[in-house]
Amino acid sequence: MLESPARVFAQLSTDEPLAQAEVVLGRAVVLGGSMAGLLAARVLSDHAESVVIIERDDLPEGVASRPGTPHDGQLHTLMHGGRVQLRRMFPGFEADAEALGAVISSPYNIRAYADGVPKVSDGRMGLLSCSRPFLEALVRRRTLALPNVKVLTCRAKGLEFRGDAVTGVRCGPAAGEDAGGQEWVEEADFVVDAMGRASKLGDWLEKGGWERPAMRRMLIGIDYATGYFRRTQSDPELAAAIAYRTPTAVPPRVASGAITSIEDDRWLITLANYGKQPPIRDVAEFRELCGELPPVYREAVTGEQLGEISTYHQADSRRREFHLLKRLPARLISVGDAVASFNPIYGQGMSSAALQASALSRYLRSAPDLRQPARDFFAAQRVVVDAAWQVSTAADLARPDVHGPYPRGYRVTKWFAEQIANASITDREVAVRFNSVTYMRTHPSALSAPSTLLRALRVNLSKSGRSGRSGGPQRERG
Ligand SMILES: Cc1cc2nc3c(=O)[nH]c(=O)nc-3n(C[C@H](O)[C@H](O)[C@H](O)COP(=O)(O)OP(=O)(O)OC[C@H]3O[C@@H](n4cnc5c(N)ncnc54)[C@H](O)[C@@H]3O)c2cc1C
């Protein structure tokens, strides 16, 4: 019997610790040693005699940015859904993180604002607040402490196939693509592509006579501007804040602003905007724009500025549809941003990678026939990617500067989504259900439960009764 996506999602997002497992693989090779690759390696360490992570960067010993992750200076929050998985994979992870300076935020020290109006706290969902290099360093330390996991510093350049399966990875020196130099093959019983959104796996599959996965894209044109400031102490409880602005016909200069408290007593603040607006590079402008957001933003930028404002542009959300491939070699999967890279504003990427690692664990525990393509893995991974994609693209499609593609039935789903999002601003019960989905703890289908919809409608009707406004379906764009 086919399992519903909601049921699969619930299984993958379990908080049960990983139980001891049978070793079913000899040597597993993971391409890419960033968040998705490290989490896949952690899971594989339970099922393989040895795990080799192939990474082109010299991975730092401690907390440091590196060239292979040019986005690592931008704000990264780990959602509740990702936190639960990290706790499963690395017992004591959060205590370690806190001891080293990360901030574990409870629902009561996160502030959220919609158009400047404080949102009600759901009383449940929290975040792990630290810089991205800090988080990655801790995940790396815990993964590389496993006795059967090691890193090889080199560049993956292609795959080797025998019959219907992958048998190895062609490697070359870590230096630039065209550096030439000797090539060699790393033998593998199982290969995981975790090479990020620019992964070349599709090229390699095509070259080997296999199919390339189709890529779906949504153009978003989002710009991040990020500043670091010395933390001021007037609100010692505050751990994180997020302020969204409703998209209007004339998009505001700042679509959303996020603050997070990070290690070494600093604030990390990101302002995001869409469309063709000039990037924010100047600290005076950065401070001025923070002044237009709720007071916590104005206050956070009063401290000493630490380093320059750094910017990042992402043109699209994209996903590669491995689950649709008719011809796919056995013993090969792809994870993380290599499969789906979402609009970063919704903070889903690392939690999605963690849930995909959970899908890998589930697959390897199911006694799969490793002579066949890993279709059961891709089916479970699709549930995670569909869930995150649905949440982020639905929110983006509501913007005047994002122009589709619109899914079937968009006009109706948009209206219902707006009802729930509006009600979640003031109603704790709707906020609990809404945040559980956006924090990646629950499958989005939970929001279409009649009880949730009815409650949201009642809340909004009573609000519009009070304010004299009416809510109804809006005209579909595009
Ligand atoms: C601006 C921005 C903000 C974000 N904010 C958040 C957030 O708040 N919360 C969140 O959860 N997510 C966020 N994300 C997403 C998050 O960064 C990613 O989803 C996450 O890092 C998982 O990435 P990954 O490991 O799949 O790929 P990447 O982090 O891109 O890593 C790919 C790795 O593969 C290596 N590699 C590539 N090619 C080769 C090769 N040929 N040989 C060897 N090694 C190779 C690279 O060096 C790199 O280490 C954000 C992303 C961006 C861009």
The confidence score (pLDDT) of residue 276 equals: 78
What is the Cα–Cα distance from 196 to 194, expressed in whole angstroms? 6
Task: Write out pLDDT tens, residues 93-148.
Answer: 999 999 999 998 888 889 999 999 999 998 888 889 999 999 999 999 999 999 99
Q: Which of 32-36, 205-209, 467-471 has the lowest mean pLDDT?
A: 467-471
Domain 5-89+136-216+319-394 identical in fold to domain 104-124+217-314: no
Which atom of ligand 1 has the smallest separation from the CA of 348?
11
The confidence score (pLDDT) of residue 173 equals: 93
- Nearest CA, atom 15, ligand 1: 349
Over the Cα atoms of the chain, what is R_g?
A: 22
5-89+136-216+319-394: which CATH number, 3.40.50.2000, 3.30.390.50, 3.40.50.1820, 3.50.50.60?
A: 3.50.50.60
**Ligand 1 pocket, 334 CB below 6 A?**
no
104-124+217-314: which CATH number, 3.30.9.90, 3.40.50.300, 3.30.43.10, 3.30.590.10?
A: 3.30.9.90
Domain extent listing, the chain:
5-89+136-216+319-394, 104-124+217-314, 410-467
Tokens of 108: 């009561």
Which atom of ligand 1 has the smallest separation from the CA of 349?
19
Which atom of ligand 1 has the smallest separation from the CA of 33?
49
Which atom of ligand 1 has the smallest separation from the CA of 77?
8
The confidence score (pLDDT) of residue 252 equals: 80
Spacing, Cα 428 to ligand 1 middle (Å): 34
Segment 454-476 shows an average pLDDT of 69
- Nearest CA, atom 48, ligand 1: 68
Which atom of ligand 1 has the smallest separation from the CA of 195?
34
What is the Cα–Cα distance from 238 to 259, expressed in whole angstroms? 10
Task: Write out pLDDT tens, residues 151-184.
Answer: 999 999 999 999 999 999 999 999 866 666 799 9
Q: Is the pLDDT of residue 398 over 70?
A: yes
The confidence score (pLDDT) of residue 399 equals: 86
**Ligand 1 pocket, 194 CB below 6 A?**
yes
What are the C-alpha distances in Å from 408 to residues 215, 218, 401, 414?
A: 19, 15, 20, 11
The confidence score (pLDDT) of residue 390 equals: 95
What is the Cα–Cα distance from 392 to 347, expressed in whole angstroms? 9
Task: Write out pLDDT tens, residues 226-279.
Answer: 999 999 766 777 889 999 988 776 778 899 999 999 999 999 999 999 887 888
**Ligand 1 pocket, 143 CB below 6 A?**
no
The confidence score (pLDDT) of residue 476 equals: 29
What is the Cα–Cα distance from 462 to 233, expressed in whole angstroms? 39
Spacing, Cα 30 to ligand 1 middle (Å): 14
Spacing, Cα 17 to ligand 1 middle (Å): 25
Task: Write out pLDDT tens, residues 59-102.
Answer: 999 999 999 999 999 999 999 999 999 999 999 999 999 999 99
Question: What pairing do the DSSP bridges indicate for beta strands 110-114 and 256-262?
Answer: unpaired
The confidence score (pLDDT) of residue 200 equals: 97
pLDDT band at 475 (very low <50, low <70, confident <90, very high): very low
